[in-house]
Amino acid sequence: MKQSTFLVPTLRDIPSDADVISHQLMLRSGMIRQSASGVYTFLPLGWKVLRKVEEIVREEMDRSGAQEMLMPSIQPSDLWKESGRWEAYGPELMRFKDRHDREFALGPTHEEVITSIVKDDIRSYKELPMTLYQIQTKFRDERRPRFGVLRGREFLMKDAYSFDHDFEGLDKSYQTMYDAYNRIFSRLNLNFRAVIADSGAMGGKDTHEFMVLSNVGEDTIAYSDESDFAANIEIAPVKVNYDKSADQPEEMQEIETPDQRTIQEVSTFLNVMPEKCIKSLLFIVDEEPVLLLVRGDHEANDIKLKHVLDAENVELADETQTKNILKTSPGFIGPVNIPAEVKVIADHAVSYMVNAVCGANKEKYHLKNVNPDRDFRPNLYEDLRNIQEGDPSPDGRGTVRFKEGIEVGHVFKLGTKYSEALGAQYLNDQGKSKPIVMGSYGIGVSRTVAAIIEEHHDENGIVWPQNVAPFHIHLIAINIKQEAQRDLAEQLYEKFLTEGREVLFDDRPERAGVKFKDADLIGIPLRIQIGKRAEEGIVEVKERKTGELQEVHVDELSAVIS
């Protein structure tokens, strides 16, 4: 590729709207451009890297026996209503209507679609187990799109789904994916940990997140360097303060409100609510996350929820507004203030409480329809409760350390949640109908590109690991107007192309300083500079990572660059 006609618009200055290094470098090196908040174009250079990462993911998925396919992004609302997620997914789901007024969503994930396909096309136990995957654009209307492609509203994901006869089969399929993920992130040169994670909404069982250790990570993980122990600290039940000063809806006033409540105590609130409908929402009030617990009958509740969601969209941080909603909607209790350092996702909040109540058996409270072991693992949560940095690791090996993590992958045992909701059954060897047991497995491909940059850069720019580098050789004619330099450069360019090497040829009539700065920024592993000694057939070979530079005669070049 000749750089003079390659669309790689580098920027000297750090863009003011980019807070993290990967976002800055992706903009500055001309990999991406923003189109709308959380929506990006991958320019040719960025696209090349994205495809390389995608290819490594694909190779390992194929190697694990998973089959690639492609599902549509446009998903009918009916499927989401059947699974119950049309309501539950909230405002992150991008919805629209077609010209006939039919409702659709742009897929943020594909459990519903894949389950409906398998429902129609898998009949017998003989066709299972099976794992299907796709690499495709996903849409999520994130509340806070930020950090460039790390948290986009349109992003590339690899999502896989496994289908088994029973939970034992699921354990195997899960392990296969888990192993594939370890290979993928190792090949991608990332310092990562597979961490035990929160299974979120009830019904999930085991789940691990693959976290790249990085200061810009939005999750916090507790891990030990001396063992495999690693957990997302979100899964440990956390203390919450009950904000007594907030206006309480009238009907709740008879409930005692001590100043300090642990989440266990809050969960007793849940216990006095009608069992059917408990929802939670996270607000930000005065920069403090505020958890709202919602109860009531289904329909009324959804209306109120919608009310709140709309309000959230309008004026997220307006305390008065929140209080007014609380006053006028007796179905709410709260708010409950959560310390800012605790990152709790709204949908997960209920399961924290369930864990807190049911995990500690001495509690006299119990939520209906929740079984320890089936829906969560009480002992695990018990162990991790109040875990602190410096504690001995729960597995007895080493010391607990805390570090931020970027979630690049997530593996999840779904069980029969979707197959039961959507009626995906198979006939077992006795001719009996059984729900298919499922798992789901995601990798944020575009997020991973940014995570690689977070880990592989220096003060001058990106330092690509060889296997994801957009090109392997950056061939630079220092002064393209000088005939000997130009001729030798052209000659080497042709030679590299013939040898099948991926080469970017800087043939621009720019100053040497500009070319070197751009080359550092773009970060191609090996640079070949053709300068004054071109006439003697001598070039400079420079390694991006170490800065090591040596003069080499072109006849010896093949040996040096291997």
If one asks whether residue 442 binds ligand ATP (CB under 6 A), the answer comes out as yes
* Selection from 273, 267, 314, 315 nearest residue 291 by Cα: 267
Site of tokens 């949908």: 347
If one asks whether residue 107 binds ligand ATP (CB under 6 A), the answer comes out as no
Residue type, position 196, single letter: I
If one asks whether residue 140 binds ligand ATP (CB under 6 A), the answer comes out as yes
CB of 408 to ligand ATP, least distance (A): 5
* Selection from 520, 529, 519, 518 nearest residue 10 by Cα: 518
CB of 45 to Mg ion, least distance (A): 28
Interatomic CA distance for residues 225 and 232, integer angstroms: 15
If one asks whether residue 413 binds ligand ATP (CB under 6 A), the answer comes out as no
If one asks whether residue 151 binds ligand ATP (CB under 6 A), the answer comes out as yes
Structure tokens at 265: 């105590």
Sites for ligand ATP among residues 156-215 (CB under 6 A): 157
Q: State the binding partner of 520 from ligand ATP, Mg ion, none, CB within 5 to 8 A by kind.
A: none
CB of 19 to ligand ATP, least distance (A): 15
Q: Which is nearer to ligand ATP, 410 or 527 (CB)?
A: 410
If one asks whether residue 410 binds ligand ATP (CB under 6 A), the answer comes out as yes
Q: Count the residues in the chain.
A: 562
What count of other Cβ atoms lies within 10 Å of the Cβ of residue 395?
A: 12
Structure tokens at 340: 């800012």
Sites for ligand ATP among residues 483-522 (CB under 6 A): none
* Selection from 288, 296, 289, 246 nearest residue 270 by Cα: 296
If one asks whether residue 447 binds Mg ion (CB under 5 A), the answer comes out as no
SS3 assignment, position 372? strand
If one asks whether residue 333 binds ligand ATP (CB under 6 A), the answer comes out as no
CB of 61 to ligand ATP, least distance (A): 14
CB of 479 to Mg ion, least distance (A): 50
Residue type, position 374, single letter: R
Sites for Mg ion among residues 263-322 (CB under 5 A): none
Q: State the binding partner of 207 from ligand ATP, Mg ion, none, CB within 5 to 8 A by kind.
A: none
CB of 530 to ligand ATP, least distance (A): 40
Q: How many residues bind ligand ATP (CB under 6 A)?
A: 15
Percent of residues in the chain assigned helix, strand, coil, to nearest 5: 35, 30, 35
CA geometry: angle 414, 419, 424, nearest 5 deg? 150
What count of other Cβ atoms lies within 10 Å of the Cβ of residue 208?
A: 23
Residue type, position 524, single letter: I
If one asks whether residue 408 binds ligand ATP (CB under 6 A), the answer comes out as yes
Select from 291-299, 385-393, 407-415, 483-491 the region that touches Mg ion (CB under 5 A). 407-415
Q: How many helical (H) and strand (E) elements, i.e. helices and strands, does the chain have?
A: 16, 28
If one asks whether residue 155 binds ligand ATP (CB under 6 A), the answer comes out as yes
Binding site for Mg ion (CB under 5 A): 407, 410
Binding site for ligand ATP (CB under 6 A): 109, 140, 142, 151-152, 155, 157, 407-410, 442, 444, 446-447
